[in-house]
Amino acid sequence: MLLCFAGCAVSPKGDKLYITTSWGWGKLLTLSRDGTVLAAFTDPELRAPSSVYVTPAGQKLVLGIEPNYLLQADSKGRWKLATLATYKDGIRCFSSTTSSIIVGN
């Protein structure tokens, strides 16, 4: 299987890999260490995902472009828990260093 991805992150325990794909509708894939697909998350808002970030608590945050958005996925990466910010909120970026969303107009 050929897989083109936009972003990837590793779970805090190192046992899962999270990959965002941007062909067609975007997806968040959860893979085991051996490459088995454990979950595939899609959502109408998940267009052109550019990166994925896993917090120390294991939360999955997906940052996208066209339009700008930040989504939070459930702990297993199967569905959306919330849209944390969008271009309408004035989202500018997400800092993985400080775990902060930069919003402004």
pTM over 0.95: no
Domain ranges of the chain: 7-103
Q: Which sign does the torsion angle of CA 87, 90, 92, 96 carry?
A: negative
pLDDT, tens only, 35-63 = 999 999 888 888 788 888 888 888 888 88
Please name the residue that has the structure tokens 């919003």. Answer: 103
- pLDDT attached to residue 16: 93
Helix, coil or strand: residue 89: helix
Q: Please state which of the four CATH numbers 3.40.50.300, 2.102.10.10, 2.40.10.480, 3.30.43.10 is assigned to the domain occupying 7-103.
A: 2.40.10.480
